[in-house]
Amino acid sequence: MMRMIATASAVLLISLGVFAQEGQLDALRGQVPLLEERTPEPLYDAENDDRRRSRAYPMQPPTIPHKIDNYQVDLNANRCMSCHSRQRVGETQAPMISVTHYMDRDGNFLAELSPRRYFCDQCHVPQTDAPLAVENRFVDIAEILRQRRETQE
Ligand code: HEC
Ligand code: HEC
């Protein structure tokens, strides 16, 4: 049994190597051969224009329209909550985290931020001015319905 596994993994590794050399497997490496170092992408600027983006689907976590460099989010502090918590929004004018962030998984409301919503950047991400790697062909459902009504008329 062990020998079979060893042979199988050896075959797999060899074929992986071959594919990687042809640049077919690793989307991040692109066509660069395994033994060569890729020229890294330039660093792109995070969007910081305070303009909200519209959402692409219901319940999508909104993207972050500001920089979050060096914002501490760990056991000791949550920098995001210093602006976005219920208590602070009056002062900061940041949009309040929605009620779902105060709910546990059974739908009970908590007085404090729910632990499952503590690490904000698990769901919310800043945007950069990087060129799109893949084109986005998303169309909002409202637009699809509008087009359908037009063709039916
Ligand atoms: C200094 C205050 C401040 C801090 C700290 C802060 N924000 Fe914000 N945030 C704002 C304000 C104000 C807005 C409203 C848009 C704007 O002015 O940028 C906003 C907007 C947002 C939005 C967009 C909401 C929507 O409905 O479109 C998200 C998401 C967000 N912030 C997440 C975060 C996360 C995650 C962190 C921590 C990593 C964070 N923010 C830290 C002030 C802050
Ligand atoms: C598990 C994923 C998840 C985590 C973690 C999370 N959020 Fe959200 N957030 C969402 C989703 C999904 C929405 C949109 C639907 C909703 O309100 O529940 C949202 C909405 C928001 C909004 C917009 C509220 C509104 O009324 O439009 C803000 C601001 C926000 N989150 C900030 C935060 C901050 C700050 C944290 C960290 C303390 C955080 N979120 C953690 C998923 C998450």
Ligand 2 atom nearest to 94, measured from its CA: 29
Structural domain contains residue 52 = no
Q: Which of 101, 120, 122 to mutate to test the pocket of ligand 2 (most atoms within 8 A of CB)?
A: 101
Greatest mean pLDDT among 32-41, 46-55, 112-121: 112-121
Q: What is the DSSP string of 60-123?
A: PPPPB-S--TT--BSSS-BTTHHHHSTTTHHHH-PPPPPGGGGB-TTS-B-SS--GGGS-GGGT
Structural domain contains residue 63 = no
Could you read off the pLDDT of 35-44 as tens digits, one per residue? 988 888 889 9
Range of the domain at 121: 81-146
pLDDT score, position 20: 46
Which residues are CB-neighbours of 116 under 8 A, at least 6 positions away?
Answer: 104, 105
User: CB of 92 closer than 6 A to ligand 2?
Assistant: no
Cβ(20)–Cβ(29) below 8 Å: yes
Q: How far is the CA of 94 from the centre of ligand 1 (A)?
A: 6
Residues 32 and 88 in one domain: no
pTM, two decimals, is 0.82
Ligand 1 atom nearest to 65, measured from its CA: 18
Structural domain contains residue 129 = yes
- How far lies 124's CA from each of 6, 44, 84, 106, in Å? 42, 18, 13, 22
Q: How many C-beta atoms surround the C-beta of residue 97 within 10 A?
A: 20
Per-residue confidence band for 9, with pLDDT thresholds at 50, 70 and 90: low
Q: How many CA atoms lie within 13 A of 130 on its CB side?
A: 12
Residues 30 and 86 in one domain: no
Structural domain contains residue 118 = yes
pLDDT at 15 over 60: no
Q: How many CA atoms lie within 13 A of 38 on its CB side?
A: 14
Per-residue confidence band for 23, with pLDDT thresholds at 50, 70 and 90: very low
- Residue whose C-alpha is closest to residue 66's, from 92, 100, 30: 92
Structural domain contains residue 10 = yes
Report the number of distinct structural domains present in the chain. 2
pLDDT at 14 over 60: no
